[in-house]
Homo-oligomer: A and B are copies of this chain.
Amino acid sequence: MKKTIQKIGVLTSGGDAPGMNAAIRAVVRTAMFYKLEVVGIRRGYKGMLEKDFVPMQSQSVSKILALGGTILQTSRCPEFKELEFRRQALANLQEEGIDALVVIGGDGSFRGANDIWKDFGFPVVGIPATIDNDIFGTDFTIGFDTAINTAMEAIDKIRDTAHSHDMVFFVEVMGRDAGFIALNTGIATGAEVTLVPEIQNDMDSLCNYLQIGRRKNKTSGIIVVAEGGHLGSAAEVAAQVKERIPNYETRVTTLGHIQRGGSPSCNDRVLASIYGYEAVGALLDGRSGVMVGRVNAKTVFTPFDEAISKHNQIDRSWYEITKILSV
């Protein structure tokens, strides 16, 4: 199979994540090294449907290593769930002479990639890129490390005000249904409480815990709330706490999209570079329908079926540690 691949298409899909550009660069440069042609597919699957193709050379990816976002842009493309549209996409790829794909994105993106592979046997390798770190088959996704540092730095700033004013801030961080961002930033900022979707909390024990802190003269604090938590958004949690402990001075901050942008951290750039290199190599080795990942510091390949259906788990013992260390 090795020699059949001559032109690789590369796209970014789903929510953008810092390091996507580093991955694009690594795909392009590695393909050049192997004397392959590369076509950038703009705006994800939508660009595939609309023939939004751009040929890429080594210089197309100069000076993008340090840039956040994705130069190929990204989008959601619900049509791609329908076979009819995927057939059109295939035709477009073939017309362009593309004979293999690298898809950079999250699990939604891998569903589309898996479909192309399963429907048509079209060679596809995926690269996990999402700030949420919730993809099975890799210890780390591209963008996660940058996001936790961005969120941590924002919370550090908020703590200045929390302490100066003796207030409690409820800070909402991203992460979809996963608590990775919340748990890591909770530990890193010494949050008094960290609420993650994976662990059931009730309002009684939360308020109880807060009042213990208060009695110990902890009058300011940070409560990190993961967006997918059981008790609701940061604003909702704050409102409920305020109702039960009326003399609490509370404020709410939703960090929002700043967590998705910015120049990627060293880890994210390295990870993205390795993934891009390995993804091209995997295609040349005849692999397809798999996602590249790093598990225990080794490169592994996980079938999309598995990557899509399973989930990484947070280390629950860390949740206990946050409580012990914030006392």
Residues of A within 8 A of B (CB): 12, 16, 18, 20, 25-26, 29-30, 32-33, 43, 58, 63, 65-70, 73-75, 139, 145, 148-152, 154, 156-161, 163-166, 169, 184-185, 187-190, 251, 253-258, 260-263, 265-267, 269-270, 273-274, 276-277, 296-297, 315, 318, 321, 324-327
A165 touches B16 (CB 8 A): yes
A29 touches B325 (CB 8 A): yes
What 4 A-B pairs come out closest when comparing CB atoms?
A: A157-B261, A69-B160, A160-B261, A68-B160
Query: Which residues of the other chain, B, contact A254 by a CB distance below 8 angstroms?
Result: 254, 256
B157 touches A325 (CB 8 A): no
Which of A68, A159, A277, A325: most chain B CB closer than 10 A?
Answer: A325
State in angstroms the CA–CA spacing of A85 and B209 once bound together: 36
A257 touches which of B157, B188, B258, B267 (Cβ 8 Å): B157
Asked, given contacts A65-B190, A188-B266, A258-B158, whether A73 binds B29 with beta carbons under 8 Å apart, the answer is no
B273 touches A325 (CB 8 A): yes
What is the CB-to-nearest-CB distance from A63 to chain B, in angstroms, rounded to a whole number?
A: 8
Given A149-B266, A188-B273: 4 more A-B contacts, CB < 8 Å: A67-B160, A68-B157, A161-B260, A273-B325
State in angstroms the CA–CA spacing of A138 and B318 once bound together: 18
Q: List 24 A-B contacts (CB under 8 A).
A: A16-B164, A16-B165, A26-B325, A29-B326, A63-B163, A66-B189, A68-B160, A69-B163, A70-B164, A73-B163, A139-B297, A148-B267, A151-B266, A152-B266, A157-B261, A187-B273, A188-B270, A258-B258, A267-B267, A273-B325, A276-B325, A277-B324, A296-B296, A296-B297
